Chains A and B, each alone.
Chain A
């Protein structure tokens, strides 16, 4: 058992626990903070994989920008302690069972030793550097990259369309 593996299992455990805590927490602010925590651990995992750039982006964009926005919204709306409707008694255990079953199945698949592994790419010194990522993004993955930009634009327009109408009605 190498140090890599030890680190991985430790971080993975933290990530999973943080994710569960995020869902289980009844306070929205806590949830958001657990999510930040989860993001940070995942960023560390990226570091372990030698992907420094992505790790940094994960921290700045997700844990930094987006989650701060989330917290703002939660606090501005004052909904941090709102109870989530009613619970349906049979649903909770059922969903837990089903979720576990799904996780179990996936674990079974991933842990079976006969899964065929794709060829691993040879890592260069350049790997994970902003320059190499940029090169891949604008060459090989140009189409997905551009489509993503359109997608984000559309999401933005959508948000504006939905909210603007409400404001007009409010007048």
Chain B
């Protein structure tokens, strides 16, 4: 343990430490000036971004393998921090509007982010578990932030109870893995599989339970049922952050554990993850069609997208494809984050103070009333469908290509067909916006507008020039744990 070890977790230390300091600073900030807290929180995130960038490209293990620093973790940490900045910008006006503005919002958000940062560089199952909890507990509280509004309360309670249930699976799975290998380090798992003649069954069962626990976090079928209720009930700014951050965090752990620590058991988990991916894509997309509430619709859409990203796992079971699969998943995560943050931003702009304005019908006439906003929303919907020239197309293209490279033609086919199905409900939003007459009430708040603009620009820009992003991702690789 030396100073370099501490440097390796510097982004985490900055974010978690800054949150703790802000907790105290916030006491002296008057209740009507909580924008200062938000601004300070963003400053902390920027410092963390600088810390991540400064060590980009470095690969090392710290704290005896508890922490792994590699391209994978750095890239994801950048993504998380970027998501955090946008989430804070989106929340500021929304909280004022709903009269729930309190400094703790930003502090809890920072804590949750610190959990995600830790998740990205976790090299030990204990750290994975703690990161999951550190990521989730602030989210439970944030979901309840509009208390005593019944829907917010309900959403938080559901999320909390089911989250605890899933955590039970996760922690028991970790215990079984420990029982089987005598270590919780990911590298230890690799060694155990290497040395055994057949894959120890205890390890398999343990990893199965880990799959359940993390599958809950990313909302994969059949562990998805909480998603629509929780997304709908939580304050929309929380939903936006939750839908993007928590999901990406879950995938960070899934990819790390299954692809870099359990490649030896790939034969076993490949068919399972394949079925989960296919089911998730189908269920999410089909169930989304009959939704009339935009938050529920986007919730089912987020389930569907979890299915798409999940495809990277079975694809990665083919060793030659694994590095590309990880990259495709990361690219898709970026795609998903940009587009979804934007779409939720539009939902935020449409939501009225008392929480109405969330039906898809309420978007009638948006094309005339606010052409720019409607255009942005149309862009996000196209991107979620995966139509060029948006980044969503690039993401799907890359991912499907990887899946086909892994010889899982039928899985790619399921992906394509479900994407087609998804066009039905995504395009419906566009149709409603442009072809129905209506007088929607829309907010125009500078910060919110700028987040929508930035994400819309990103959706479009990376859809045409993905080169920059691809170049960055091409440098990403999971640290080889075999060494």
Contacts and interface: CB of A to CB of B under 8 A. Distances in A.
Nearest to B122: A143
Interface string B39-82: 00000000000000000000000011011000000000000000
Interface residues of B, number: 46
B248 interface: no
Interface string A9-49: 00000000000000000000000000000000000000000
Contact of A147 (B23, B134, B156, B192): B134
A158 B64 CA distance: 32
A80 to B, nearest CB: 21
A97 interface: no
B148 A147 contact: no
A139 B1 contact: yes
A118 B183 CA distance: 8
B127 A154 contact: no
B349 interface: no
Given A140-B64, A161-B102, A161-B145, A109 B130 contact: no
Main secondary structure of the interface of A (DSSP, over half): helix
Given A116-B192, A150-B20, 9 more contacts: A109-B202, A116-B196, A117-B180, A118-B183, A147-B130, A147-B131, A154-B138, A158-B108, A158-B141
A166 B148 contact: yes
A155 B137 contact: yes
B200 interface: yes
Contacts of B196: 116
Contacts of A104: none
A87 interface: no
Interface of A: 105-106, 109-110, 112, 114-121, 139-144, 147-148, 150-151, 153-155, 157-158, 161-162, 165-166, 169
A161 B141 contact: yes
Contacts of B198: 114
Interface of B: 1, 9, 16, 20, 23, 63-64, 66-67, 102, 104, 107-108, 111, 114, 118, 124, 126-127, 130-131, 133-134, 137-138, 140-141, 144-145, 147-148, 156, 178-183, 192, 196, 198, 200-203, 205
Nearest to A110: B202
B147 A165 contact: yes
Contacts of A121: 182
A150 B144 contact: no
A91 to B, nearest CB: 15
Contacts of A139: 1
Given A118-B182, A154-B137, A162-B147, A143 B201 contact: no
A110 B137 CA distance: 32
Contact of A115 (B137, B144, B201): B201
A150 B114 contact: yes
A107 to B, nearest CB: 11
Nearest to B105: A161
Contacts of A165: 147-148
